[in-house]
Structures are given as structure tokens and as C-alpha cells.
Structure 1
Amino acid sequence: MQPLDRFSGHADLYAQYRIDYPAELYDFVGSFVGNRQTAWDCATGNGQVAGALAAVFEQVEATDISETQLILAVQKPNIHYQLSPAEQTPFASQTFDLITVAQALHWFDVSAFHQEVRRVAKPGAAIAEWGYGLVQLGLDLDPILLDFYRNRIGPYWDPQRKYIDNEYATLPFPFVNAQRATFTAQRTWTLDRFLNYLRTWSAVRQYIHENEEDPVKWFGEELKPIWGDGERTVHFPIFLRVGQV
């Protein structure tokens, strides 16, 4: 299956406006890890997770199918980036103590990826897969956002989006000591900052491609009277599953 690349065309927006993840998530994942020599961050994008892992692992390998994303990725001396699909990598067998994939598993051939995980993981290594669902703005704005998400741009989501909506519940996870956990990423954003985050959505990019207009622009006008000129606290619900190989 040809890997899907939905993010090269707006890698600059992605690098600026996608969220990072809370320390509590990394602490939880770390509790499953024994040695901290080598980690692989698969579908690293702009290297947000790789950068966090580099603070606690001796060496981090980070892969993606988007050369544009990797050019803009976080640079640290112990991170090595390279182009590679998730399902077939250049790594030697039994290389990694931890393998991570954030907000990307739904784009993979999941069974083939898990087969590759078993090949490149050390015995007892940890595998952590996570993502985040629809951002929460508050009771006054959530219904408006949900209508935009489902109806205005709903037809432009790839079918894989359903796996995010159901928190990977229907995707296999054939690993031992499997556990699930939830976290929240909280941010304080202006309306402009939030709208630029929306412009990183693959469905928004597809809408722009097909219709030659930006649906976020008019949506921002709808939100502005309620949002106001100041900042608002927004919440991203994060779901995670972790196990051992």
C-alpha cells in the first residue's frame, strides 16, 4: 500500500501550529521502558516527539515519508532523521528500547507496521501509540466547532479519520502488558492562533485544494463575536495505548 502524505504541502504551518504533548504522557510511557539507549519516533513530522525523547535517550532515530517535514524538524545532536515508511525501515533487528508514533498510526498499514515493530524492537521494548481528538473550546463554541468539523469539512476527511474519532479502539494492538491512558494538552490561544491550527487539518487542506477557498476564513468570522479579541483556554483530549514487545 502506498503511504499517504497529507502534510508536506503545509509543513511550515504544521511546524508552527501543531501541539506538543504534556510531560505526564512521557512520564507514563517512560514507566514501561527499562534501558534508555535508543528510541524510534515513527512518522515524526516536525520532530516534536523526537525532541522530547532526545532529552532522555542516548540516541533517537526519527523517520517520516515527508522530506519537507524533516527539513523543518527540531535539530538536536542525538536525533538522526531519515526518510522511511513506517512499515519497512532500514534499521537492524532488535535495535530499539522504545518505539513511538503520535497522531499518525491511522495512516499506516497497521499490521505491517506492528510486524516491523516486532523486528526492530529489543525484547521487552515498549511501543506507545497516541493521538488526540477534536479540540474543546468551551460550551459556547463547541457546538459551532462540531458543526464545522462534521458538516462543513466533514466530507473532506480521509476515511482514516474515523480511527481518531474512536481513539484507535478498532485498530489491533497485539502487545503484552497493554494499557490505555488519557491526558489533556491545555493551551491559551488567540483566535488567530487557533485558526492557523485549523489550517493544518488535512480536511481543510483538501477543501482548499478542491474549492480554491479557505473555509477557515469565514469560520473565523463566525467565531469572532463569541471568542473576542483576547485569549481563550483550549483543551486537546489525548488518548494513548502502550505495551511491550
Structure 2
Amino acid sequence: MYSSATPSRNWFDQGGQAYARFRPDYPARLSAFLSSIAPDNDLALDVGCGNGQLTLQLASHFAAVVGVDPSADQIANAVPHERIRYQCAPAERLPLPDRSASLVTAAQAAHWFDLPVFYGEVRRVAVAGGILALISYGAPRSEPGLEERFGRFYQEEIGPYWPAERRLVDTGYATIDFPFEELSAPRMDIRLDWNLAELLGYVSTWSAVRRAREAGREDVLRSFAHELADAWGDAGIKRSITWPLNMRVGRI
């Protein structure tokens, strides 16, 4: 439990590899489901792949996978695999030939895209009957006492620092234009048991936290970390954290 005698720690100064270390992995059944509805399992394209969390899982189901991201730093931290080719490229200029991808995914990334241009690229690179899946998850859920404090931090304290695109994530992409034959998807959650350092490391990857730090609001971040530590108790205790997944899935 935090007290004034506890050495001060900046939980939010995690360095450039924080995204690779702390972003939660997707459930294995997600890639299994997507591969089951694709017309074939020849090639999957993961757009805005980050450090390759979903990309790596798709490699268990597809003969080849291409992961693209505009950030060279993210690509540099991606986990290599013999069936994966990573490439630095934007969603609006996909580095694939026409009619080549059976599945196109964008996990926790589509809110950053110029969607009409991206959709045009998807139609170009997808095979007939190919699948497009936009996947997102919002704020994590935990035990009631922790979730209440977490919610106040998420909505009120750093709420003003979220980019406008974050609203699309919070609504599960429900309000975006999705001009494809839409398919139903099973309910899925990300479920992890994390200690305090892992949860706060994850929070450090949020764009709103980065912007709050740039605005000189370290006080808001420190206050939240200390109060969450008090509510958590022993920082080494693992507690259940859940993120409900949201999906828009369509056939091209």
C-alpha cells in the first residue's frame, strides 16, 4: 500500500518498448474465428499492426501474414515469425497487389485511418469474398472499488486529453460508416491477471496519458497512481482485468 514513506516512482515513464510490454494480447479464439470465415487461409493482412500482437496469432492460421504500420518504432518491436512480413506503411497505401488478401484486420487502429481511402484500398487488395474485421476494446474492467477509481481517471481526469478519435473506440466503432455486408461475431473478452505495475504500465501507453504529460499534468497521473495503489493493496497481488472486444466484420 502506498504511503508517504514509499519511495516515489514514476509509473508512466516506461520508455519506448512499453507498448510491446504492456498492451494486452487478444484471445486465441479471435484469430481462429476470423480464419474460419475467410474464403481461404492463404494470406492475411493486419493493418496498423503495432508490435504484431494480432499479426502473430494470425500466423497460426494463415500460410502468410503481412503486418503493416506507419510507425517504424512499432515495427522494430514486432515479434518475428517465419510466416510474417512486417512493413512500414500507412493504412491508406497498402503494400499488397490487387486481389491478394483473404482477410484484412485492423485491431485497435481503425479510428486513426482515413476510412474512405482505407476502404478503397481494402476493396483493391481483398480477394472476392474476403473478410474485413475492425476490432477494438475500450477501458478495462476490474473489481468494483478499483473500477470506480479507474473510471473517474479515464473519463474525468484525463478525459480532456483523449483525442477525438477515442470516442469511436468507446462506442465500439458502432457509429462509423461500414459499407460492407456485415456479419455477426461471437462475444469475446480479453481476460488477464495483472499486478499493479502491469496495469499502470498499460495505462502508460495511452495517448491521453502521453498528452497529459506533455501538458505538464504529472500531478494528475501521480495522484491516480498513488490512490490506485492504496486501493490495490500489495502491489504484487494479481487481479483480474477484463476488456470486452467489439468487432465490425464484413464480407468484401
2:182–2:248 Cα contact (<8 Å) kept: no
Structure 1: 5+ residue runs without aligned partners? 1-8
**Is 1:117 paired with 2:105?**
no
Q: Which runs of 4 or more aligned residues in structure 1 lie more than 2 Å from their structure 2 counterparts after TM superposition?
A: 177-182, 212-218
1:188–1:233 Cα contact (<8 Å) kept: yes
> Match of 2:29?
24
Question: What secondary structure sits across from 1:61 in the alignment?
Answer: strand
> Match of 1:208?
213
Query: Cα distance, 1:11 vs. partner?
Result: 4.2
1:60–1:78 Cα contact (<8 Å) kept: yes
Amino acid at match of 1:54: A
Question: What secondary structure sits across from 2:99 in the alignment?
Answer: coil
> Match of 2:7?
none
Shifted more, 154-163 versus 175-184: the winner is 175-184
1:44–1:101 Cα contact (<8 Å) kept: yes
Report the CA distance shift for 1:177/1:169 in structure 2 as closer, same or farther (over 3 A). Answer: closer
Larger Rg: 2
> Match of 1:242?
249
**Is 1:186 paired with 2:180?**
no
Amino acid at match of 1:60: V
Query: Cα distance, 1:31 vs. partner?
Result: 2.4
Structure 2: 5+ residue runs without aligned partners? 1-13
Mapping of 1:220-235 within 5 angstroms? 220-229=225-234, 230-235=237-242
Q: TM-score, normalised by structure 1?
A: 0.92
Query: Cα distance, 1:138 vs. partner?
Result: 1.6
> Match of 1:61?
66
Amino acid at match of 2:30: L
> Which of 75, 85, 88 is the equivalent residue of 1:83?
88
**Is 1:197 paired with 2:202?**
yes
> Match of 1:101?
106
**Is 1:46 paired with 2:51?**
yes
> Which of 161, 171, 174 is the equivalent residue of 2:176?
171
Query: Cα distance, 1:10 vs. partner?
Result: 5.5
**Is 1:138 paired with 2:155?**
no
Structure 1, residues 70-112: CA drift from partner, whole Å, max 9, x if none?
0110101111111111011231110101101000100111111
Amino acid at match of 1:244: R
Q: TM-score, normalised by structure 2?
A: 0.90
- RMSD of equivalent CA atoms: 1.5
Query: Cα distance, 1:113 vs. partner?
Result: 0.7
Query: Cα distance, 1:220 vs. partner?
Result: 1.7
Question: What secondary structure sits across from 2:144 in the alignment?
Answer: coil
